[in-house]
């Protein structure tokens, strides 16, 4: 069963966490395409009319797939160019990069920042999927963490968690997260969510990430899009849970009203 769901998700392209609707669409397409493909390449000959109909159907599916892939590629390149125009390499704020762990309560970070730090650690854990350059990969990981933001992560750590570098924390927590959180709360059109997010994003300082300016730009683009994807996925998951609770509560109230 797990392998079956994994196979269906693998046909989703960049969307590795499909919704119920998109999963049903993929399953329906595969149930049509797979038997049709077997008919075309089978060892039994049929009449020409049915073979032409099946071949035309498969060709239509393939052309549709190619057009969707090309459209998604163009959209991705346009979004990457928009994000690249927002990046610059300046000097880092040492006050931000040198936050040391203290025992005083007023030095404790906010719960949201602590959770975001842990999420940054997950992004750092996925380091090798962003770049093959060893120096770039090392710039995302902190081997000796000592910031106050790591308190929650340290409590959850059993020896295998990855701690993000201070430059990565500054990028995601200080530059990306405030704008992203605001857009998730006040989202208008889900189809234009990424475009509206990039439009409101200020210039992003990429200092400390990557081994060179060229590598840094490509690395930051991959990291930002990955972070936006997982944040939007968690937000949608929680929103669906809240909507489900609301519908169940409304349904229970209607049942109670009928019984009284």
pLDDT tens, position by position, for the chain (260 residues)? Answer: 777 777 777 666 556 666 777 778 777 777 766 666 666 555 666 555 556 666 676 677 778 778 888 888 888 888 888 888 888 777 655 444 444 444 444 567 788 888 889 999 999 998 888 888 888 888 899 888 888 888 888 888 888 889 999 889 988 988 899 888 888 888 777 777 888 888 888 888 888 888 887 788 888 999 999 999 898 888 888 888 888 888 888 888 888 887 76
- Domain contains 254: no
The pLDDT of residue 11: 66
The pLDDT of residue 260: 66
The pLDDT of residue 94: 46
- Percentages (nearest 5) of helix, strand, coil residues in the chain: 70, 0, 25
| Cβ atoms within 10 Å, residue 125 | 16
Contacts of 249 (CB under 8 A, 6+ apart): none
- Domain contains 255: no
- Domain contains 69: no
- Domain contains 159: yes
- pLDDT tens sequence across 102-119: 444 456 778 888 888 999
Structure tokens at 198: 């990039």
Tally the domains of the chain.
1
The pLDDT of residue 247: 86
Q: Which domain holds residue 178?
A: 86-245
Q: Report the C-alpha gap between 86 and 84 in whole angstroms.
A: 5
- pLDDT tens sequence across 191-211: 778 888 888 888 888 888 888
- Domain contains 149: yes
- Domain contains 60: no
The pLDDT of residue 100: 43
The pLDDT of residue 40: 59
Nearest 10 degrees: Cα torsion 112, 223, 81, 11: -110
- Domain contains 12: no
- Domain contains 146: yes
């Amino acid at each position: 069963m797990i392998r079956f769901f994994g196979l269906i998700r693998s046909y989703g392209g960049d969307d590795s966490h499909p919704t119920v609707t998109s999963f049903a669409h993929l399953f329906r397409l595969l149930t049509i395409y797979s038997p049709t493909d077997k008919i075309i390449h089978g060892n039994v000959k049929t009449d020409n009319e049915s073979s032409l109909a099946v071949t035309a159907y498969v060709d239509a599916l393939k052309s549709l797939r190619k057009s969707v892939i090309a459209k998604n590629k163009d959209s991705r390149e346009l979004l990457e160019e928009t994000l690249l125009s927002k990046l610059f390499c300046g000097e880092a704020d040492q006050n931000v990069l040198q936050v040391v762990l203290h025992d005083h309560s007023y030095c404790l970070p906010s719960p949201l920042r602590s959770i975001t730090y842990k999420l940054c650690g997950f992004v750092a854990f996925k380091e090798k999927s962003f770049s093959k350059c060893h120096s770039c990969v090392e710039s995302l990981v902190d081997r000796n963490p000592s910031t106050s933001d790591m308190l929650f992560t340290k409590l959850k750590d059993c020896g295998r968690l990855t701690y993000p570098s201070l430059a990565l924390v500054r990028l995601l927590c200080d530059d990306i997260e405030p704008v992203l959180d605001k857009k998730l709360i006040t989202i208008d059109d889900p189809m234009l969510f990424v475009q509206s997010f990039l439009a409101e994003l200020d210039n992003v300082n990429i200092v400390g990430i990557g081994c060179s300016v060229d590598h840094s730009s490509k690395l930051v683009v991959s990291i930002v899009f990955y972070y936006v994807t997982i944040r939007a996925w968690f937000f949608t998951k929680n929103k669906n849970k809240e909507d489900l609770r609301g519908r169940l509560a409304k349904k229970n109230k209607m049942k109670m009203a009928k019984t009284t």
